[in-house]
């Protein structure tokens, strides 16, 4: 009996050693691959236990989603209402703006009203990002588990709204993004109630986290550099300097040769856009917040050296909406309000941008 166990253990060790060697030193048609330099880290876990790499390549629903988001964003821009709180005390900008955008997007996308909702209250979404980048181990006690629970709470809330909508006749519905998706269920096979709930959550998340982070940064930079010019140049400079996503993810569909190195098919590649945005040959003094530089940058340079919303066919579906929304927000801020930084402003990346001490401003209406 003992011999059999020993043989099995030996076979197990040989098999996994073989897999490990194959993974560490891959071959294509029997020829060893010259991999790009760098460490492979540990099997499965890689270099870090903190980074979860999302994949966008599930089913080919992307053109559909893109079209619907763009149509929806276009229609809501004119309904935007920027409610800035005028207060004698200090406001923590990131949470205030997150909440504002969360409420606004949830309301216009699927009719969720935070104050008057009857169902489950969603209080935690603005903190969702903190637990997003975690090792995908879904057992109680892990950050990932907490993150999934928050996401489920949100998707369930949308499911509840979907059920209510489906009871009502189509002409009683508000005609928002959710209604568009429900109407499309008849023609698009992949659109199930579950899918629409997850999609609505995804849009809410994509919109509120990225926009609120950019606006918080813009306000911080403006408070530290009070001479403002055009709002759009401030938005561009903020996106350039801080690069909200740490990079773009792509999957190699076939072996790719780059400068003598092979990236094997199936590998996930991260294009680190901050490197392009901080290239001193394009952006003089690249670490300096300088909205004025945008006056002199030509279109050709920009098309190659500015990609805060990604590029190609997978470019951000909310890019135009975000630029207009943020420029309009800053316009209202600088024309109608006075504000000054009280404390905070420290930024960390892990790998998303966080404000460990917040950005606290004192804000009052110019009419007061
Ligand atoms: C400051 C604001 C924003 C930034 C910096 C940003 C950035 C990005 C980036 C870098 C990507 C990946 C693109 C790629 O892989 O090439 C992306 C994808 C995406 N974004 Fe945004 N985003 C912002 C706002 C929004 C908003 C407001 C929405 C929705 C209303 C949105 C919806 C999406 C969607 C659906 C995708 C996936 C596109 C696809 O795979 O086709 N984003 N975004």
Q: Residue 287 is part of a domain; what is its CATH number?
A: 1.10.630.10
Q: What are phi and psi of 14, to 5 degrees?
A: -60, -45
**Is residue 81 domain-shared with residue 147, that is, in the same domain?**
yes
**Is residue 186 domain-shared with residue 327, that is, in the same domain?**
yes
pLDDT over 90, % of the chain: 11
Q: Determine the structural domain holding residue 24 and report its residue range.
A: 1-32
* Angle 35-36-39 from CA coordinates, rounded to 5°: 90
Inform me whether the pLDDT recorded for 83 exceeds 70. no
Inform me whether the pLDDT recorded for 58 exceeds 50. no
**Is residue 64 domain-shared with residue 26, that is, in the same domain?**
no
- Of 202, 119, 124, 125, the C-alpha closest to 162 is 119
Nearest atom, ligand 1, residue 325 CA: 27
Inform me whether the pLDDT recorded for 284 exceeds 90. yes
**Is residue 69 domain-shared with residue 24, that is, in the same domain?**
no
Ligand 1: residues with CB < 6 A are: 56, 62, 65-66, 69, 73, 203, 206-207, 210-211, 214, 239, 244-245, 248, 308-311, 314-318, 321-322
Long-range contacts, 345-352 (Cβ 8 Å, 24+): 345/220, 345/223, 345/224, 347/217, 347/242, 349/246, 350/50, 350/133, 351/51, 351/133, 351/246, 352/129, 352/132, 352/133, 352/244, 352/245, 352/246
Statement: the pTM of the whole predicted model exceeds 0.80 = no
Q: What is the pLDDT of residues 289-298, one digit of tens each?
A: 999 999 888 8
CA torsion, ordered 6, 7, 13, 19, to nearest 10 deg: -160
Give the count of domains, the chain. 2
Per the omega criterion (within 30 degrees of 0), is the bond before 351 cis? yes
**Is residue 222 domain-shared with residue 360, that is, in the same domain?**
yes
ipTM of predicted complex: 0.98
Separation of alpha carbons 147 and 52, rounded Å: 12
Which 8-state DSSP code applies to residue 46? B
Residue 277 lies in a domain: yes
Inform me whether the pLDDT recorded for 17 exceeds 80. yes
319 CA to middle of ligand 1, Å? 6
Residue 53 lies in a domain: no
* Angle 204-209-211 from CA coordinates, rounded to 5°: 100
**Is residue 270 domain-shared with residue 346, that is, in the same domain?**
yes
Residue 48 lies in a domain: no
**Is residue 228 domain-shared with residue 124, that is, in the same domain?**
yes
**190: which 2 tokens?**
């992949």
Per-residue pLDDT at 152: 83
């Amino acid at each position: 009996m003992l011999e059999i166990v020993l043989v099995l253990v030996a076979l197990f060790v040989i098999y996994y050693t073989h897999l490990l060697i194959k993974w560490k030193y891959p071959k294509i048609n029997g020829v060893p691959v010259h991999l790009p330099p760098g460490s492979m880290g540990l099997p499965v876990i890689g270099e870090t236990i903190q980074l979860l790499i999302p994949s966008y390549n599930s089913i080919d629903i992307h053109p559909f989603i893109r079209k619907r988001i763009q149509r929806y964003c276009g229609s809501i821009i004119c309904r935007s209402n920027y409610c800035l709180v005028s207060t004698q005390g200090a406001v923590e900008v990131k949470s205030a703006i997150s909440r504002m955008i969360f409420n606004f997007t949830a309301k216009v996308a699927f009719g969720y009203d935070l104050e008057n909702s009857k169902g489950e209250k969603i209080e935690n979404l603005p903190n969702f990002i903190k637990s997003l980048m975690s090792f995908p181990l879904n057992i109680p006690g892990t950050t990932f588990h907490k993150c999934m629970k928050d996401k489920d709470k949100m998707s369930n809330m949308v499911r509840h709204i979907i059920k209510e909508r489906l009871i009502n006749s189509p002409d009683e519905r508000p005609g928002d993004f959710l209604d568009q998706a429900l109407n499309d269920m008849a023609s698009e096979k992949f659109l199930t109630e579950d899918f629409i709930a997850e999609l609505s959550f995804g849009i809410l998340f994509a919109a509120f986290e990225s926009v609120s982070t950019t606006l918080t940064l813009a306000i911080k930079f403006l408070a530290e550099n009070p001479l403002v010019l055009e709002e759009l140049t401030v938005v561009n400079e903020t996106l350039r300097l801080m690069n909200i996503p740490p990079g773009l993810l792509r999957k190699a569909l076939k072996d790719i040769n780059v400068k003598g190195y092979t990236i094997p098919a199936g590998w996930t590649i991260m294009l680190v856009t901050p490197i392009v945005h901080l290239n001193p040959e394009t952006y003089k003094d690249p670490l300096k917040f300088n909205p004025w530089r945008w006056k002199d940058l030509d279109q050709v340079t920009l098309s190659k050296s500015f990609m805060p919303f990604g590029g190609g066919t997978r470019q951000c579906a909310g890019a135009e909406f975000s630029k207009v929304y943020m420029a309009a927000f800053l316009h209202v801020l600088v024309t109608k309000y006075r504000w000054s930084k009280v404390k905070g402003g420290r930024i960390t990346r892990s790998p998303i941008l966080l404000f460990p001490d917040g950005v606290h401003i004192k804000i009052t209406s110019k009419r007061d």
